[in-house]
Structure 1
Amino acid sequence: MFSKNTKYNFKLKTAFLILLSVCIQVSAQNNTWKPASFEIVKSNYKTFTTTQYAHVFSGSKHNIVRLAPELQGFQGVELPLDKYKSGTNTPLQLKFKEPVQVLVGIFQENSSEFLQSNKLENAKLVLKNGLTITGLPPVNVYALSFPKGTQTINPGSGLFAVLGVVKDGQKLSFRNAELPDGKLWNPTFIVEGFSDEKPLFEIIGGESRPVIDEGMSGTEGIQGGFEGGRVVKVGDTYHMFPTERAGEIGVDYYYDRVKTRIGHWTSKDAINWKRESTIYQASGTYAVTEDDNPMNDRRAAIWSYMPVFNEKANKWYGYYLAYTVSKEIEPNHSFGRIWRCESTVDGINGIGGPYKDMGIIMEPGLDSQPWEGRQGVASFFPYKVGDKYFGFYSGAYPFNSWADYPKKSGKGWFVALAESKSLEGPWTRMNKGLEPIKTMHPQFVENPIVSQLPNGLYIAIFDGGPDGWGHHLPNMIAYSLSADGVKWSEAHYLPIETKVDKWWDIMRTPLCLIPEGNDVYTIVYNAIDLKRRFHPTGMVKVKLNKDVMESRLKELK
């Protein structure tokens, strides 16, 4: 699992965030800019709403991830990226019903591919660092004045962004919004509904608050909330097996992710949940040596329980992760081992167990590779393709070489495939584990769960990585597609906060993609509100576009 061992002062952070929120609201209220209407003349350029995730340039993956509140809600113009970079574009013409000021984003990059600010005439700088666009340099926003009528917006050669049009005559106060460099978000990524591609999934709604939160029935004794696991549906009942960050009363929050347990929860609607039992409890005992030594407790922390029904054996199998825990080394989760267990109750209704351990199926060893890192094997999920089985296994905090073992680890969260003839194993790392799968995302793929769409496409839904803790990752639930279960496509990311109230700062792990009929799917997920110690669980509904599904299948074949 993703490791972060830095302590937060929650009271101070809460006060800071509240103050920051108030300052932003006051700033936005004092700088309300009134939009003016316009018409695009003699081109097929599209408009976009200037908001988070807005797709700014056609033929690209670049999206807005930060913007000054003054810009929120304006209509921008989606310019063709390559033509503007190369200077082969047809000049943009806009028709105005009144005198206006056009808000133009200028990239702070000294390159012929970008319009230079010294080429602007009669322009006023209104927002310094006013916008962040993934993969592109910092953006200053200028206001360019134009009279009524049809006007050519051609301030010079090179790429710029048209972010909106403002009524003339109003005061546009200058300020430095201090938003970060978009090149921190590298590589760029595809956001569903905010790209040139039609979305496979439409977010159709869900709960605008957590469905399991601190103080609710069943959360007694859970100090730090939830992270990871899986939800399955048996008949009309949802069964959830989350990692409960139990910790201990009176011990600081760092221990929540050490003394963990696997719970079993049920629900009839994926909204109202009841805790049924504890499946496994970790010891929470810290290691006595820094290496992978049998003297250490190798079940100190337990995570990522994945229930899978074995039709041949007519019983539920569980696959879960057990760690050694180091107090001093980052990450404190180390040397992951994947265990398999079986329900002692036969049949589909035996999902609640009890379960008995059947042994370790994957662990660090002679066939491990340095990219699996300090944390590997860090998760496992098996799925069937034809007459064989594949399993995603993961690594994190990679070593450049074995000479770095056991302390000197880098950054990266990767997955690769193992194969077996049965769910029982033995499981073998494919291609000797030489390279992780980087087609999904080159830096971060965590806890993929695989199922199949109605046309046979395999889909892996996973944690797309945090925008926080010093990382600039998509901060959204992700999915990847495969026609054969082996080759996986570039990830797409689901901006669920566009349809439900965003109660989180950092999106974490999706636990399922459950078909409900009529092309509707349920996703249960965990996320983090940085103002709080407890990590809640949420739920959202998405709808599958079958036409897009068929076109994706053709592309992948």
Structure 2
Amino acid sequence: MFSKNATYNFKLKTAFLMLIAVCIQATAQTTAWKPASFEIVKSNYKTFKTTQYAHVFSGSKHNIVRLAPELEGLTGIELPLEKYKNGTNAPLQLKFKEPVTVMIGVFQDKDAEYLQSNQIGNNNEILENGVTITGLPPVSVYAIPYGKGTHTILPNQKGLFAVLGVLKSDQQLNARDVKLPDGKLWNPTFIVEGFSDEKPLFEIIGGENKPVIDEGMSGTEGIQGGFEGGRVVKVGDTYHMFPTERAGEKGVDYYYDRVKTKIGHWTSKDAIHWKRESTIYQASGVYAVTEDDNPMNDRRAAIWSYMPVFNEKANKWYGYYLAYTVSKEIEPNHSFGRIWRCESTVEGINGIGGPYKDMGIIMEPGLDSQPWEGRQGVASFFPYQVGDKYFGFYSGAYPFNSWADYPKKSGKGWFVALAESKSLEGPWLRMNKGLEPIKTMHPLFVENPIVSQLPNGLYIAIFDGGPDGWGHHLPNMIAYSLSADGVNWAEAHYLPIETKVDKWWDIMRTPLCLIPEGNDVYTIVYNAIDLKRRFHPTGMVKVKLNKDVMESKLKELKK
């Protein structure tokens, strides 16, 4: 008969052994599989590394955004998407030096353009919902054995499938449901720099593997929620950053960090070590008393998105920033944005630190607003010069389908359009009366674009590409768009900086600059979010420009 202590120890040991067994099983299921070599016979199909952002099909933009860890690092084969869909593809022949298992991604869709699982045998399914490919149905992974020699892969089957890798046959494959999401949630598809058929304009060459400004560092006192948006410029050998500081208030819920904000001025000699110099503006943090855009509400309750621009003609710095009315109950809480212009009271390029004086509102909701600007618009502004004219990106968010939906019934979408002026002072007029936002960059999400020029004159806008989180399925990367004339903007490309920098964030947010450093190297300072924390830090990365690609882009955009 066991004593109480013996019984307790027996139960403890049993539970411990069960835990070890579970851990061993989990490890066996998620350990990367051993790849086998192969040769592609009689075709020019390219291969890809099976990893996040991998470009899966030639002639398309579809890429992997989720995958089971077992698949990581295998070698897949780019198949021509349209030819496989319509059944006009050349057969895929592979040569193996040993017995292998080919991992086939099967799309869980009954449409005839996709390979059906019953064509290859349901008993071969290894990973249910094992891969997510943008814009395409859920993918389950099947293991198809082949012997040594040359084989035609699935010669008699019709429809699109994905070749995700080739494995050595002498290993155990554990079947499981990975429960990855449907790729159709990522719609439209998007181009990830360095992973598509196109040569990348920028190579990510490295940067800091942790935030350069984080909670507890000098200058962050009283900034509970960290940083979001603004701009960094370089004057001489000094970087000047003007971020939105999500200050909030001690003892008040984190959501108030978005309301009681500051515009800070920070400086650095290397874009890594930063010193806080001053507060440029402080928001009131006072909630609105009505639901509509009413002058009895405090229209400077939250202040965001400060953009410093040097006016050579006036020989002083101008600042453009956003002031919101803030609702406590209605989404979004930031409403009815107004763009203010201010000027440094100190002349010259070194007057960037101010102090600044307000010169008035240059854009606001009004008779020339359009429903797409939504409850949040005007939600940001950035001016830039093209020839003897000036253009400015202005934005809207939480659009109304029509004015009948004003003031509370808003949808989802973050859009930009252009305003024009003969001077930086204004007046600024919405182009084409603001009838349509610019959707060539991305049809659903473009936020806080900052414009500069590349060495060959191409205009480049760098911006927040949208979160993969909070219920959204967007690229979750810094984005850029190019323009030959500063008016017509090309489809966005996205920078996967985590391929060269340790990923300390869950949600990538706003880039603050694209600063040339010489030798075709550029600095990007950015804000991002670690969902486990209230404080949103700031990071830094370096990219290198490919001049040959830059020239080919200019020719392409001038056609």
What's the TM-score bracket when you normalise by the shorter of the two chains? Answer: over 0.9
Task: Report what 2:290 is aligned to.
Answer: 289
Task: Report what 2:176 is aligned to.
Answer: 175
Q: What is the CA distance between 1:151 and its match in structure 2?
A: 1.0
CA distance in 2, matches of 1:62, 1:493: 13
Letter in 2 for 1:393: Y
CA distance in 2, matches of 1:30, 1:214: 34
Aligned length: 536
Letter in 2 for 1:132: T
Task: Report what 1:13 is aligned to.
Answer: none
Task: Report what 1:440 is aligned to.
Answer: 441
Letter in 2 for 1:263: G
Relative to structure 1, the CA distance from residue 30 to residue 433 in structure 2 (aligned partners, 3 Å threshold; closer, same or farther) is: closer
After superposition, give the CA deviation of every residue in 1:129-177 in whole Å (9 maximum; x if it has no partner).
Answer: 0000000000000000000011111251110000011111322110000
Letter in 1 for 2:537: P
Task: Report what 1:203 is aligned to.
Answer: 204
Q: Is the 8 A contact 1:230 1:240 kept in 2?
A: yes
After superposition, give the CA deviation of every residue in 1:62-98 in whole Å (9 maximum; x if it has no partner).
Answer: 0000001111110111111111111111111111111
Q: Is the 8 A contact 1:222 1:247 kept in 2?
A: yes
Task: Report what 2:93 is aligned to.
Answer: 93
SS where residue 183 of structure 1 aligns? helix
Task: Report what 1:44 is aligned to.
Answer: 44
Letter in 2 for 1:347: G
Q: What is the CA distance between 1:333 and its match in structure 2?
A: 0.2
Q: What is the CA distance between 1:44 and its match in structure 2?
A: 1.2
5+ residue gaps, structure 2, are: 1-21
Relative to structure 1, the CA distance from residue 320 to residue 181 in structure 2 (aligned partners, 3 Å threshold; closer, same or farther) is: same
Q: Is the 8 A contact 2:451 2:459 kept in 1?
A: yes
Letter in 1 for 2:52: Q
Q: What is the CA distance between 1:554 and its match in structure 2?
A: 0.6
Is 1:549 equivalent to 2:511 in the alignment? no
CA distance in 1, matches of 2:328, 2:23: 39
Normalising by structure 2, we get a TM-score of 0.95
Letter in 1 for 2:164: L
CA distance in 2, matches of 1:451, 1:29: 48
CA distance in 2, matches of 1:465, 1:547: 29
Q: Is the 8 A contact 1:245 1:257 kept in 2?
A: yes
SS where residue 90 of structure 1 aligns? coil
Is 1:494 equivalent to 2:495 in the alignment? yes
Q: CA RMSD in A?
A: 1.3
Deviates more, 1:108-117 or 1:340-349: 108-117
CA distance in 2, matches of 1:552, 1:166: 39
Q: What is the CA distance between 1:111 and its match in structure 2?
A: 1.2
Letter in 1 for 2:550: M
Task: Report what 1:140 is aligned to.
Answer: 140
* Aligned sequence identity (%): 88
Task: Report what 2:71 is aligned to.
Answer: 71
SS where residue 167 of structure 2 aligns? strand
Q: Is the 8 A contact 2:343 2:358 kept in 1?
A: yes
SS where residue 125 of structure 2 aligns? strand
Relative to structure 1, the CA distance from residue 28 to residue 400 in structure 2 (aligned partners, 3 Å threshold; closer, same or farther) is: farther
Relative to structure 1, the CA distance from residue 278 to residue 30 in structure 2 (aligned partners, 3 Å threshold; closer, same or farther) is: closer
Is 1:222 equivalent to 2:223 in the alignment? yes
Q: What is the CA distance between 1:553 and its match in structure 2?
A: 0.5
CA distance in 1, matches of 2:203, 2:538: 21
Q: What is the CA distance between 1:42 and its match in structure 2?
A: 1.4
Task: Report what 1:523 is aligned to.
Answer: 524
After superposition, give the CA deviation of every residue in 1:302-336 in whole Å (9 maximum; x if it has no partner).
Answer: 00000000000000000000000000000000000
Task: Report what 2:312 is aligned to.
Answer: 311
Q: Is the 8 A contact 2:30 2:68 kept in 1?
A: no
Q: What is the CA distance between 1:28 and its match in structure 2?
A: 6.0
CA distance in 2, matches of 1:476, 1:176: 28
Where do 1:372-451 residues align within 5 Å?
Answer: 372-451=373-452
Letter in 2 for 1:175: R
Task: Report what 1:12 is aligned to.
Answer: none
Relative to structure 1, the CA distance from residue 38 to residue 122 in structure 2 (aligned partners, 3 Å threshold; closer, same or farther) is: farther
CA distance in 2, matches of 1:541, 1:137: 35
Q: What is the CA distance between 1:379 and its match in structure 2?
A: 0.1
Larger Rg: 2
CA distance in 1, matches of 2:241, 2:32: 46
Moved over 6 A (4+): 22-25
Q: Is the 8 A contact 2:30 2:70 kept in 1?
A: no
5+ residue gaps, structure 1, are: 1-21
Q: What is the CA distance between 1:37 and its match in structure 2?
A: 1.1
SS where residue 112 of structure 1 aligns? coil
Q: Is the 8 A contact 1:41 1:94 kept in 2?
A: yes
Relative to structure 1, the CA distance from residue 208 to residue 172 in structure 2 (aligned partners, 3 Å threshold; closer, same or farther) is: same
Q: Is the 8 A contact 2:28 2:174 kept in 1?
A: no
Deviates more, 1:543-552 or 1:155-164: 155-164
Relative to structure 1, the CA distance from residue 200 to residue 170 in structure 2 (aligned partners, 3 Å threshold; closer, same or farther) is: same
Letter in 2 for 1:198: K
SS where residue 433 of structure 2 aligns? helix
Letter in 2 for 1:504: W
Relative to structure 1, the CA distance from residue 30 to residue 408 in structure 2 (aligned partners, 3 Å threshold; closer, same or farther) is: closer
CA distance in 2, matches of 1:519, 1:454: 9
Relative to structure 1, the CA distance from residue 493 to residue 23 in structure 2 (aligned partners, 3 Å threshold; closer, same or farther) is: farther
Deviates more, 1:80-89 or 1:468-477: 80-89
